[in-house]
Chain A
């Protein structure tokens, strides 16, 4: 993929992967909450005899789709960060007071954040596939 967002790494590129995580999290929560509150047969105001519970239904599909989109965005961010980093582990710790090291440092830190965000997105998606219904 040749997606060039920014030539120069800055604080915004650094924050992109975790921001994607945050949006994905919010999205999953909202989708599930609305599904279960509006369609899930969980009435918060009436006693629920509760033998039957609404299955998650399209929640799984929506969460899966959202997760794929989030992963794609994180991978794009990571690719860009890789380019910004532009060196290998041998060149750490990027502590020289030069524009190159500043760029490499931001790239590397973003790359690490992409990894964390990628895994965290997976963590967040898991419940939708391990839990059956809205109870």
Chain B
């Protein structure tokens, strides 16, 4: 045999091995898949299904409003329909579709075989599916939430005014938010640590920048809502009066917490869609993007500024003008980076020669609609104008212009662009033009008149309206437009579901793009990239002529799966130096089982089955530990393995080098944001009350006293110190020291948590009496729960140590748990300082 033939035979063997390792099982075991290509497909399809469902709800609303005094939908049902329309569009479509698309295409862009935590993606998907079906399904039982998608109390906290729907909203969505945060962690770590060698921070695709920023935004935006949900459920289920003015609460607190989430959310859904345009525009302008740094400026700038806008949803709540002024200013400022973004695309087209295509048609339509929506956004950011426009159809029109122009149209452009990558075939260009014009015209016919309906006085969220005050024909036109718009979407759905199958496979790199996702053959093999190339350009397919051949012939990194393990590369953050050959876990039903158990516990709580929820929740925790036990920090059979091109990489790294450490670090950032929101609530109550904390009958300020918090502090310091000691002993090779440290830390932590809860109890603070004791209890409860979770982790480490899976050499677990304890200690100390020391200042 010649060397050439030997080469070919070797390559065939390698491909077979790769295929075997990454193979998705057939039959019912298919649903155990965790690979990003499968999970990403389910995720996208599910999010799209929820989108269609919410779209039908939107059409129902338009049908009801087509003529005045219509009786198609009764008031109660209409209120459920519009609540669910907004809820599903935002929580079940806009955010999940970002995660879905990112899970699907990010690894291909990074020439990675998978994301670093495939089972976490799968877990997130199953959570999303269960939570979404739970929330949407409620409408078929006439039990859907009906208080509007931002759920303002007291309408929604009063059990007489809102039924089980409010609990379904709160618990169903909290559950989904957890999944969103999980996906954000996964994507951030993916962008930072799973890039191919040589893809430095200045050469990574712009999509990665957006994913990184949006992931970070999710970490800071979603936790305040989770904190708000906790307060909300405590009020609904236990009567803790956070939002009840009669007992020292304030309904405005919820509005603050909701919109601290809600406004960044708008940018969380907008940026990833714009990111798709940032990938497409250079392809069709046939040149690299002009102003890469400007895009980074725009994405980072928008990410930050979007957190200073929340009060512009509260311009009419009577806050002082000066406060409105700050938010008005920030709302104007955020238009600057958004404008930059658009002009970067225009500049790139000016500097290139644009090839026309269906994706570009959608991109153009999105530009027209989005710029229009952006300009009305600049208008409503001016508080005096908002006092007129707020809560009217003007705002309905504005938000649909922004979301459909800035999110849906770019997403459809992305669909036309990326469907070949995912399905191997192109969508029809001819139908595509029909889809576009139906949607574009239908949209403008439907939503343009709403600006005027709103300024002529029509408030939003009305199930009907009287005739003869100037809204009749405007509404009728809107309804006609909405149905035209929907017909475009029906055509698109038909093309995806039916038309697509009739067409031949697309050629490789069908758009002549320059970025790595188009590297492989179509349809893409299950293992993804054939071998992981070294990258030296922002557009490697344009600038590295031999790249495709080298990759195909397995001449790059990781061309093989000798040990039958799923492997991908981990590199350093800034410069993408190879650090590790990461073994990612394979298919498993565990993520699904965990999601089902945790989901059942949330759903049970909504129906007040507290004990069974507790039992199921604990079972879910054990399932998660079983998953961690067999799937993470697996001890490899050897220290290092050659990954090709003469490079040998470790199979096991711990501490800051490991992806798990990064995931823990990032997750805890989100956790701290939730905690900060609770602390904010405490001080918010201080600002609205003249006397805070309230006084006991004898005139002294209420509070948990000093003794027990001081004791809790000392025990907590001891627990934290013991964890540091345990880690040090472990590093020195003493398993006994590790175990002693862990056990001691657990005892001290339990003591600290008990002292935290005993303090308000012995002081006689009753959480149902006033918002003050309720906030003290919720802060201390939060801290104590963190210590308790820390104890579970300590127990896990102890078990790992006893099971020989945690040693001085194999020490991922202890590093990650100590990291958790740093954050838990900060949480505990801040809590104790706030609840024990603040009453002294009063």
Contact = CB atoms under 8 A, between A and B. Distances in A.
Contact of A126 (B301, B329, B574): B329
Interface string A31-62: 01110111010111100000000001001000
B414 interface: no
Interface stretch (B123-131, B287-295, B608-616, B619-627): B287-295
Given A32-B323, A42-B320, A112 B294 contact: yes
Contacts of B326: 25, 28-29, 32, 124, 127
Contact of A37 (B202, B296, B574, B687): B687
B333 interface: yes
Contact of B688 (A11, A28, A44, A97): A44
A131 B325 contact: yes
B301 A127 contact: no
A125 B504 CA distance: 60
A80 to B, nearest CB: 16
Contact of A36 (B323, B328, B332): B323
B201 A22 contact: no
Interface stretch (B105-113, B521-529, B531-539, B816-824): B531-539
Interface in B302-318: 303-305, 307-308
A112 B293 contact: yes
A133 B324 CA distance: 12
Interface in B195-213: 198-203
Contacts of A25: 308, 326, 330
Contacts of B293: 92-94, 105, 108-109, 112
Interface string A122-135: 01101110110011
A14 interface: yes
Contact of A135 (B308, B320, B537, B690): B320
Interface in B380-423: none
Given A33-B687, A116-B301, A124-B330, A105 B323 contact: no
Given A29-B323, A59-B322, A14 B687 contact: no
A94 B336 CA distance: 23
B322 A123 contact: no
19 contacts: A18-B305, A32-B323, A33-B687, A34-B687, A40-B320, A45-B245, A93-B290, A93-B291, A94-B293, A95-B292, A104-B202, A105-B202, A106-B202, A120-B333, A124-B330, A128-B325, A131-B325, A134-B321, A134-B322
A95 B538 contact: yes
Contacts of A93: 288, 290-293
B297 interface: yes
Interface in B808-842: none
A130 B301 CA distance: 25
Nearest to A40: B320
A102 B575 contact: yes
A17 to B, nearest CB: 9
Interface string B18-32: 000000000000000
A33 B686 CA distance: 12
Interface residues of B, number: 47
A15 interface: yes
Contacts of A135: 320-321
A127 B328 contact: yes
B573 interface: yes
A123 B574 CA distance: 33
Please list the 7 inter-chain residue pairs (A to B) with the smallest Cβ-Cβ separation, ordered nearest first.
Answer: A127-B325, A105-B202, A18-B304, A112-B297, A123-B329, A97-B536, A120-B333
B58 interface: no
Nearest to B687: A37
Given A29-B323, A113-B297, A131-B325, A97 B198 contact: yes
A21 interface: yes
A113 B300 contact: yes
Interface string B214-248: 00000000000000000000000000000001000
A101 B202 contact: yes
A88 B391 CA distance: 49
- Residue in A42, A97, A99, A104 whose Cβ sees the most chain B Cβ within 10 Å: A97
Contacts of A56: 322
Nearest to A121: B333
Nearest to B250: A44
Nearest to B336: A116
A98 to B, nearest CB: 8
A109 B206 CA distance: 13
- Residue in A32, A94, A120 whose Cβ sees the most chain B Cβ within 10 Å: A120
Contacts of A97: 198-200, 203, 535-537
B690 to A, nearest CB: 8
A56 to B, nearest CB: 7
B337 interface: yes
Contacts, number: 141
A45 to B, nearest CB: 8
A50 to B, nearest CB: 11
A36 B303 CA distance: 29
Interface in B234-270: 245, 250
B198 A113 contact: no
A119 interface: yes
Contacts of A127: 321-322, 324-326, 328-329
B623 to A, nearest CB: 35
B689 to A, nearest CB: 8
A102 B202 contact: yes
A18 B213 CA distance: 13
A109 B322 contact: no
Given A97-B536, A134-B320, 9 more contacts: A18-B300, A25-B308, A29-B326, A36-B320, A38-B687, A44-B688, A95-B538, A99-B575, A123-B329
A15 B300 contact: yes
B336 A119 contact: yes
- Residue in A14, A45, A109 whose Cβ sees the most chain B Cβ within 10 Å: A109
A22 B322 contact: no
A59 B320 CA distance: 13
A102 B325 contact: no
A128 B329 CA distance: 11
A106 B296 CA distance: 10
A123 B688 contact: no
Given A28-B326, A32-B326, A126-B325, A102 B201 contact: yes
A94 B297 CA distance: 15
Nearest to B383: A127
B202 A113 contact: no
Contacts of A10: 573-574
Interface string B685-711: 001101000000000000000000000
A102 B199 CA distance: 10
B782 to A, nearest CB: 22
Interface in B275-294: 288, 290-294
A11 B337 CA distance: 19
Contacts of B203: 95-97
B141 to A, nearest CB: 39
A99 B202 CA distance: 9
Contacts of B573: 10-11
Given A32-B320, A102-B202, A112-B293, A22 B307 contact: yes
B200 A102 contact: yes
Contacts of B687: 33-34, 37-38
Interface string A53-92: 0001001000000000000000000000000000000001
Contact of A95 (B320, B323, B537): B537
B325 to A, nearest CB: 3
Given A32-B322, A33-B323, A97-B198, A22 B688 contact: no
Contacts of A44: 250, 688
A22 B688 CA distance: 24
Contacts of A22: 304, 307-308
Contacts of B294: 112
A130 B325 contact: yes
Contacts of A36: 320, 322-323
